[in-house]
Amino acid sequence: MVEGNVQKVVLAYSGGLDTSVIVPWLKNNYDNCDVICFTADVGQQEELDGLEEKAIASGAAKLVVRDLQEEFLNDYVFPTMQAGAVYERDYLLGTSIVRPLMAQKMVEIAENEGADAIAHGCTGKGNDQVRFELTVMALNPKLKVIAPWREWDIRSREDAIEYARKYNIPLAQTEKDIYSRDRNIMHLSHEGGLLEDPWNEPEPSMFQLSVSPEDAPDEPEYIEIGFEKGNPVSLNGERLSAVNLFTSLNKTAGAHGIGRVDMVENRLVGMKSRGVYETPAGTVIFRAHQALESICLDKYTMHYKDSVAVKYAELVYNGMWFMQLREALDAFVKVTQQTVSGTVRLKLYKGNIIIAGRKSPYSLYREDYASFGEEDVYNQQDAHGFIQLFGLPLKVESLLAMDGGGESRYRKPDYSKFKRD
């Protein structure tokens, strides 16, 4: 139990079994404290009607709901995408990105309401507990953090249902979904159940945002995404808000079986876990952004930016959004995006994203320079001097070895001199 008196708590609330049970548990274990429930609308498609009544029936003083979808995409998803951040080669960080935003709003509400603590329903085995609590530490370390899963005696869903019934907590259903899911407008994650054995193939019925590539249309679909300074702003020539663009593209890309990832990742807390992610729109936009950068960024900026992407992804995954290093990397990325404007044409076909064209007023690609045909802009004889200078370190090293009576260390050995048994 958290030390010290707690009079008012802000709880991250979904209305599910766990967070519904946490409300009376907090009141019973923290001197009948006031509980303010907070629900972030990040596009999870969960029914919000009746949620306030349910929270109050569970013992909460009130429910605060915030629509954070535009802020989530513009201030969290797009900067991460512009950085090229991908965790362990595959994960586009859909859940990792949203937790700092949710925790930030909880701190804000706690300060406005005069609360002295926040609470969350994250388990002691996962990454989300770290992401929530690091955000609180960064923004207001004076707030206490209560993590019931690290304190209470409830150890199973059946225990939670029994506790809910004891305190007359309304339950929508008691059937157990074998999968643990987290959804927002960017992605849907699946964990647990059959996925706990990495040899098991996911069940087709598990997926909700995308069809199987085998069941996708037999004809490809072409789309165009427009970017301004690294931000996606239009779809097929129509300028859209971030939410409308993602909503539309989720349907289109999902219908072509795009955005599925099945991976075993290294959790921050030390264990490996398997997750299956559906990220239709995010996968397409990420790929389109890469294609546009390929003609808008110079070689050295792009190569260095690729190294930054790995660190950026690590910081986001580990919940260190509100950290000076992440903000410094963000400043670098923003400079690189000043010329990343243009349009990318893509072909969507049975789980594949095929780049069909890209153009930009800031393109560094010059057809007259790149052409293998006859031209007047490039003197091929200049290549000789370039090669001599570029390879000078290799030449000097080899000459020194040979002048000393030896041979270049890369000379192929004469195996005929070796004795054979």
- Express each pLDDT in 272-289 by its tens digit: 999 999 999 999 999 999
User: Alpha-carbon dihedral of residues 56, 58, 59, 64, nearest 10 degrees?
Assistant: -40
What backbone phi and psi angles, to 5 degrees, belong to 352? Answer: -110, 145
| Strand arrangement of the beta sheet that strand 188-191 belongs to | 180-183, 188-191, 272-278, 260-266
* pLDDT value at 357 more than 90: yes
- C-alpha angle with apex 338: 335 to 344, nearest 5 degrees? 130
User: Alpha-carbon dihedral of residues 201, 207, 209, 211, nearest 10 degrees?
Assistant: 70
Asked whether 3 and 29 are in contact (CB, 8 A), the reply is no
Write the Ramachandran bin of 230: left for phi over 0, alpha for psi from -120 to 50, otherwise beta: left
Predicted confidence band at 180 (pLDDT cuts at 50, 70, 90)? confident
* pLDDT value at 2 more than 70: no
Cα 388 to the chain's mean position, in Å?
Answer: 45
* pLDDT value at 202 more than 90: yes
pLDDT computed for residue 271 by the predictor: 94
pLDDT computed for residue 175 by the predictor: 47
Asked whether 27 and 33 are in contact (CB, 8 A), the reply is yes
Asked whether 77 and 95 are in contact (CB, 8 A), the reply is no
DSSP 8-state code for residue 49? T
* pLDDT value at 37 more than 90: yes
Q: How many helices (H) and strands (E) does the chain have?
A: 14, 14
DSSP 8-state code for residue 405? T
Asked whether 38 and 51 are in contact (CB, 8 A), the reply is no
- Find the helix packing angle between 280-296 and 242-255, rounded to 10°: 110
DSSP H helices in 185-267: 242-255
- C-alpha angle with apex 275: 306 to 303, nearest 5 degrees? 5
For the segment 187-202, the average pLDDT, to the nearest whole number, is: 96
* pLDDT value at 371 more than 90: no
* pLDDT value at 63 more than 70: yes
Predicted confidence band at 368 (pLDDT cuts at 50, 70, 90)? confident
Q: Which residue is listed with tokens 């075993």?
A: 264
314, 303, 305, 366: which is closest to 335 by C-alpha?
Answer: 305
pLDDT in tens, 4-34: 589 999 999 998 888 999 999 999 999 999 9
pLDDT computed for residue 240 by the predictor: 98
* pLDDT value at 174 more than 60: no
Predicted confidence band at 170 (pLDDT cuts at 50, 70, 90)? confident
What backbone phi and psi angles, to 5 degrees, belong to 68? Answer: -115, 15
Mean pLDDT, the chain, as a whole number? 93
Share of the chain above pLDDT 90, in %: 80
The residue among 155 and 84 whose pLDDT is bigger is 84
pLDDT computed for residue 375 by the predictor: 63
pLDDT computed for residue 374 by the predictor: 61
* pLDDT value at 75 more than 80: yes
* pLDDT value at 3 more than 80: no
Structural domains of the chain in order of their starting residue, each with its CATH number: 8-68+97-178 (3.40.50.620), 181-368 (3.90.1260.10), 379-413 (no CATH)
* pLDDT value at 401 more than 70: yes
pLDDT computed for residue 417 by the predictor: 65
Bridge partners for 273 per DSSP: 265
Q: Which residue is listed with tokens 């808000």?
A: 241
Asked whether 23 and 63 are in contact (CB, 8 A), the reply is no
CA–CA separation, 330 and 328 (whole Å)? 5
For the segment 379-391, the average pLDDT, to the nearest whole number, is: 92
Q: Whats the size of the chain, residue-wise?
A: 421
31, 29, 64: which is closest to 48 by C-alpha?
Answer: 64
pLDDT computed for residue 404 by the predictor: 75
DSSP H helices in 213-241: none
Catalytic (active-site) positions? 18, 99, 128, 180
* pLDDT value at 104 more than 60: yes
For the segment 191-198, the average pLDDT, to the nearest whole number, is: 94
pLDDT in tens, 243-302: 999 999 999 999 999 999 999 999 998 999 999 999 999 999 999 999 999 999 999 999
Which of 172-181, 307-316, 376-385, 409-418 tops mean pLDDT? 307-316
Which of 12-21, 133-142, 221-230, 336-345 has the least mean pLDDT?
A: 12-21
Predicted confidence band at 47 (pLDDT cuts at 50, 70, 90)? confident
